[in-house]
A = this chain, B = another copy of it.
């Protein structure tokens, strides 16, 4: 499998009518970027938006690979970290682009993790009312989650992703090689979304992860590629059925109502998104036992896999429950003040529920967070 990865990349198609696009998964794809760009008939000028960590690692290589094919790009970077996913950075970039001579046929490449992808995608969605957008994810989180599905945007002080668009990339270049440089903690945080994806939609994949998680976390290319492909297939399937999240797509937010609130309370400092989602999933699996018929055994299997993967399953610091509830109500998934949760009926099957009460939350909170 590792050797096939070096040939033609694996292809996952995201079917969205005229907005359909391919996710290409393989090794060494960055150096071959031109071959994948050319069929898209993008213009010959673009901007690579990246961050201060990833830019120095891969920026010049990508730029040179494109230049060899007659495509000129400028590299623009933002400071690494969630705090760059802000209106302030978005404005700075938007005000900078005209000086690069970009026009409607130009394109934006997001080279980096979820923060860069969401920020650069928002720039692509709004500059000149939308120009072409290519995702080159370099973290596991971005490979399996944020680069698929077209959600782009920035945070507000009041909460995550409160400003943004649905805007689909023209291509996702998922180069597994980019994971080599990923810090261990980031890898594990991304793995939380892999576990999430299996838990909501594919019990067989969840069982595969229970067996193979160590190989993925050791970054064995065939194991990583399998996990990435399966996550992309599942997410592509969900998104193509409900692009703008009027129904099914909401299940992708499993663990996110609690997780986002935790991130907001620590002001996005010292807690990675995947770590927050990990705690959120474990928390919600216990709500699921109470309100959606999940078995105790399956709830425990989920929390155990998270912990075995080196992820926090129980809040690592004391969150105040009232502040947590308040932050959850501010989340954009709240509907007229009512909290909505994605619950598991069983591993591999999720439902959206309005049935969770404050008392339910308090009950779980008192068990797991004190």
- Which of A's residues lie within 8 Å of B, judged by CB? 43, 45, 87, 91, 94-95, 98-99, 101, 103-105, 125-130, 151, 153, 156-159, 161-166, 244, 330, 332-337
Whether the pair B164, A126 counts as a contact (CB closer than 8 A) is yes
Copies in the complex: 2
Q: Identify the interface centre among A103, A105, A164: most chain B CB within 10 Å of its CB.
A: A103
Whether the pair B332, A104 counts as a contact (CB closer than 8 A) is yes
- Contact partner, A163, options B94, B103, B104, B153, Cβ 8 Å: B94
Chain B residues with Cβ below 8 Å from A151 are 129
Whether the pair B98, A129 counts as a contact (CB closer than 8 A) is no
Whether the pair A87, B98 counts as a contact (CB closer than 8 A) is no
Whether the pair B335, A105 counts as a contact (CB closer than 8 A) is yes
Which of chain B's residues has its CB closest to A331's CB?
B103
What's the nearest-Cβ distance from chain B to residue A92, in Å? Answer: 10
Chain B residues with Cβ below 8 Å from A164 are 126, 129
Whether the pair B87, A91 counts as a contact (CB closer than 8 A) is yes
A159-B129 contact in complex given A43-B336, A104-B332, A336-B103, C-beta closer than 8 Å: no
Which of chain B's residues has its CB closest to A86's CB?
B91
Q: Identify the interface centre among A128, A159, A333: most chain B CB within 10 Å of its CB.
A: A128
Whether the pair B95, A157 counts as a contact (CB closer than 8 A) is yes
- A164 to B127: give the CA distance in the assembly, Å: 6
The contact sample of 13 A-B pairs, CB cut-off 8 A, is A43-B336, A45-B336, A87-B94, A103-B332, A103-B337, A104-B333, A105-B336, A126-B153, A126-B164, A129-B153, A129-B164, A130-B244, A165-B165
Whether the pair B128, A98 counts as a contact (CB closer than 8 A) is no
- A127 to B43: give the CA distance in the assembly, Å: 30
What's the nearest-Cβ distance from chain B to residue A161, in Å? Answer: 8
Which of chain B's residues has its CB closest to A338's CB?
B103
Chain B residues with Cβ below 8 Å from A99 are 158
Which of chain B's residues has its CB closest to A158's CB?
B98
- A125 to B126: give the CA distance in the assembly, Å: 10
Which of chain B's residues has its CB closest to A123's CB?
B163
What's the nearest-Cβ distance from chain B to residue A335, in Å? Answer: 6
Which of chain B's residues has its CB closest to A99's CB?
B158
- A91 to B99: give the CA distance in the assembly, Å: 22
- A360 to B42: give the CA distance in the assembly, Å: 31
Chain B residues with Cβ below 8 Å from A157 are 95
- A264 to B230: give the CA distance in the assembly, Å: 51
- A107 to B91: give the CA distance in the assembly, Å: 24
Q: Identify the interface centre among A153, A163, A336, A337: most chain B CB within 10 Å of its CB.
A: A163
Whether the pair A103, B165 counts as a contact (CB closer than 8 A) is no
Which of chain B's residues has its CB closest to A152's CB?
B129
What's the nearest-Cβ distance from chain B to residue A337, in Å? Answer: 8
A162-B127 contact in complex given A94-B156, A157-B95, C-beta closer than 8 Å: yes
- A103 to B129: give the CA distance in the assembly, Å: 24
Whether the pair A334, B95 counts as a contact (CB closer than 8 A) is no
What's the nearest-Cβ distance from chain B to residue A117, in Å? Answer: 15
Chain B residues with Cβ below 8 Å from A43 are 336
Whether the pair B98, A159 counts as a contact (CB closer than 8 A) is yes
Whether the pair B129, A165 counts as a contact (CB closer than 8 A) is yes
Chain B residues with Cβ below 8 Å from A333 are 104
- A87 to B156: give the CA distance in the assembly, Å: 15
